[in-house]
Amino acid sequence: MLTFEEMRERLQLHGIDLAELERRCDYPRWYLPFLYIYGRKDSTVSVMGANIYPEDIESIVYSTPLLAKSINAFAISLEEDAGGNPRPCFEFELLDLERQAEVEKELRHVLPTELARLNLDYKKAREEYPQAVDPILRSFAMNEGPFKENLDRIKRRYVKRGSPPER
């Protein structure tokens, strides 16, 4: 958040006069602070009006003991189901494949209900269109599937765009 004066000063550094903008736009000056939000573009997956944030998935993983000690990373995306309907897809990189069945069972049980608890938009979409927001879940060994690309990256990519990875 920036005060009105801080924003005015920053704009002046770039040759923009806030008072002149006010005159040209015929918009009253309220001297309110400026609030800017960053990090949302390309940081969510939206399905049926519900924005799903990586932070929601992270919270679910870390608040569930089995998941917290079994999952190294995750990725979220949209994928079309057999009927051509977009659905949320959650992919997880497991630390140990020996617990894969147990982890996947826990994910199927916990993920939709906890996501509905954390995310009111998802909860509403789940009430209205349960099949459309029913998640597609996949798990992979370390550095496999969509997580191969994390080997060459400094920062992990949580939101995946484009076609699904080869299995």
pLDDT tens string, the chain, 167 residues long: the values are 888 888 889 889 989 888 888 788 776 667 778 876 654 455 788 888 899 999 999 999 999 999 999 999 999 999 988 888 889 999 999 999 999 999 999 999 999 999 999 999 999 999 998 988 999 999 999 999 888 877 666 556 667 765 444 33
Q: Are residues 80 and 3 in the same domain?
A: no
Q: Are residues 91 and 138 in the same domain?
A: yes
Phi-psi region of 102 (alpha: psi -120 to 50; beta: other; left: phi over 0): alpha
The distance from CA 34 to its chain's CA centroid, rounded to whole angstroms, is 25
Model confidence pLDDT, tens digit, residues 102-125: 999 999 999 999 999 999 999 999
Domain that holds residue 21: 1-36
Q: Would you state the pLDDT for residue 124?
A: 94
Q: Are residues 31 and 72 in the same domain?
A: no
Q: Would you state the pLDDT for residue 164?
A: 44
Q: In what order do the strands lie in the sheet with 71-80?
A: 71-80, 86-94, 136-140
Do the beta carbons of residue 143 and residue 150 sit within 8 Å?
yes
Q: Percentage helix, strand, coil, to 5, in the chain?
A: 45, 20, 40
Q: Would you state the pLDDT for residue 21?
A: 80
Q: Count the domains in the chain.
A: 2
Instruction: Please tell me whether the overall predicted TM-score, pTM, comes out greater than 0.75 for this model.
Output: no
Q: Would you state the pLDDT for residue 36?
A: 65
Would residue 67 count as lying in a domain? yes
Would residue 165 count as lying in a domain? no
Q: Are residues 22 and 76 in the same domain?
A: no
The DSSP line for 104-157 is HHHHHHHHHHHHHHH-HHHHHHHHH-TTTSPPEEEEE-TT-GGGGGGGG-SS--
Would residue 103 count as lying in a domain? yes
Q: Would you state the pLDDT for residue 165?
A: 42
Instruction: Using DSSP bridges, classify how beta strands 86-94 and 71-80 pair: parallel, antiparallel or unpaired.
Output: antiparallel
Within 10 angstroms of residue 57's Cβ, the number of other Cβ atoms is 25
